[in-house]
Copies of this chain bind each other. A is one copy, B any other.
Amino acid sequence: MQPALIYASERRDTFVEELKEFLRIPSISTDEEYFEDVRRGADWLVDQLTRIGVDAAERCETGGHPIVLAEHRAGDELPTVLIYGHYDVQPPDPLELWTTPPFEPRVRDGKLYARGSCDDKGQLFMHVKAVESYLASGLPLPVNVKFLIEGEEESGSAHLRPFLERNASELDADVVLVSDTSMLGEGIPSITYGLRGIAYAEVQLKGPSRDLHSGVYGGAVENPVNVLARLIGNLHDEKHRVTIPGFYDRVRDLTDDERVAMRALPFDTRAWLNAVGAGGGRTESGYSVLEATWARPSLDVNGIWGGYQGPGAKTVLPSSAGAKISMRLVPDQRPDETASQLKQYFEANTPETTALTFRILHGGHPVLVDPGIPAMQAASDALEAVFGRTPAFIREGGTIPVVTDFKQILGLDTVLMGFGLNSDAIHSPNEHFGLDRFHQGIASSIRFLDAFGKRA
């Protein structure tokens, strides 16, 4: 493995330049205007994987954005690692808050700024470079490697599940490796063993058939914005608990051991909140910030709109209002059931004077992986060697629905070995990725493949 580590070390600058090339492609999967750019992102990856010497790499059509599939065989007796990542990115708006444009990558203070630099192009690319490091330095790969890289992660992964179902045998492996999560803090290598799920919906309320003069009609005609505000406002009680009937029924409580372990983690709640200007924070009564984001469900309005949003005063009684609402779920909540509960809440409480449209946009199951399995231990060994300290086993508040799919469809556990930091501003303006972590990630991937080849 040493020659691979040396190769990677000597190629640091080249790797960064190549990543920049990848980041220049605005592969925004949720916006149809970027349809062709998303395809370009897939083509770029196929070309890249072919160039580093992977046996086979192809762009697979899905009915939506393409999936990139690649495979490199090292030996039938060796275990197989399926590396998953995504080459699509979030929309970059609000554009005016970016110091440099989101698709013109720039290094400042050792950090690479661009949309996707951390989530997930940068982290995905580490594994591509790890495999290259073996192949280019003439070493046999210590495991068989498959790549599964999708282009719809930021817009709901609608075509991934059917793709897994259709290609289950081709995707046969021993474990899935994913780098799309964060570290607990700077310099603290972390393995994520739990993820929250999600249920995401869009609500529209329609009132009068057109925008009305608020003087002539105000006080006699129901205002759909007022109604929507009330319905949303009532979704939490004064303890910041979600009021939807049945919402907490399946929530698995934290064990006492887990609470103790969480409290022992080096986590500075105040610094974490201050970093995002969130003052004192606001959690469900009785739960710490870590407990609340890792092991308790939440409900957030992701967007709301209605009526006049321009400058000055327009005296309009709006004809409609809408909101995007998502809930983060913990074991053993079920996204479909929770979305239904939200729908029932709106149906039961929307007055007859407004017409409700409720659409479920997407869902993902919560996940818990046993930290004792060989692949988790291989990841632990790799990270410890690179960072010089035992990694923290953590959970994360976010959702990677594909992890559930891997378990359900392929029967595979997933190792979440992430190198992000909360300060990386993923999904926000000025997303960035520390180049030190990019290179540590490549070394960790090289070491993981080696360690898993021996342990499995």
Contacts and interface: CB of A to CB of B under 8 A. Distances in A.
Contact of A397 (B207, B217, B314): B217
Interface in A417-441: 422, 425-429
A39 interface: no
Contact of A429 (B182, B210, B308, B318): B210
B225 A304 contact: yes
A299 B188 CA distance: 53
Contacts of A426: 213
Contacts of A208: 276-278
A132 interface: no
Nearest to A229: B232
A161 interface: no
Contacts of A398: 213, 215-216, 315
A306 B301 contact: yes
Contact of A305 (B292, B299, B304): B304
Contacts of A85: none
Nearest to A97: B210
Interface centre among A196, A312, A362, by most chain B C-beta atoms within 10 angstroms, is A312
A140 interface: no
A226 interface: yes
Interface in A190-213: 196, 198, 200, 202, 207-213
Contact of A219 (B97, B223, B283, B313): B283
Interface in A381-407: 396-399
Contact of A324 (B93, B211, B298, B314): B314
A214 B298 CA distance: 9
Contacts of A2: none
Contacts of A302: 214, 307-308, 313-318
Interface in A38-90: 90
B212 A428 contact: yes
A311 interface: yes
Contact of A352 (B279, B313, B428): B279
Contacts of A289: 220
Contacts of A422: 216
A317 to B, nearest CB: 5
A398 B202 CA distance: 34
A352 B280 contact: yes
Contacts of A216: 182, 293, 396-398, 422
Contact of A313 (B155, B220, B233): B155
Given A283-B220, A306-B303, A324-B307, A211 B353 contact: no
A218 B427 CA distance: 14
Given A279-B352, A361-B313, A428-B211, A304 B304 contact: yes
A228 interface: yes
Contact of A229 (B219, B281, B304, B362): B304
Interface string A265-281: 00000000100111111
A103 to B, nearest CB: 17
A339 interface: no
B282 A91 contact: no
A209 B273 CA distance: 10
A31 B312 CA distance: 8
A334 interface: no
Contacts of A90: 314
Contacts of A222: 278-279, 281-282
Q: Which 4 residue pairs are nearest across A and B when measured between Cβ atoms?
A: A215-B398, A209-B277, A219-B298, A233-B233
Interface of A: 30-32, 90-91, 93, 97, 155-156, 182, 196, 198, 200, 202, 207-223, 225-226, 228-236, 273, 276-284, 289, 292-293, 296-318, 321, 323-324, 326, 328, 351-353, 361-362, 396-399, 422, 425-429
Given A31-B311, A90-B314, A222-B282, 15 more contacts: A155-B312, A212-B278, A213-B426, A214-B298, A215-B328, A216-B422, A217-B293, A218-B293, A218-B326, A221-B276, A221-B282, A231-B233, A278-B353, A303-B306, A303-B307
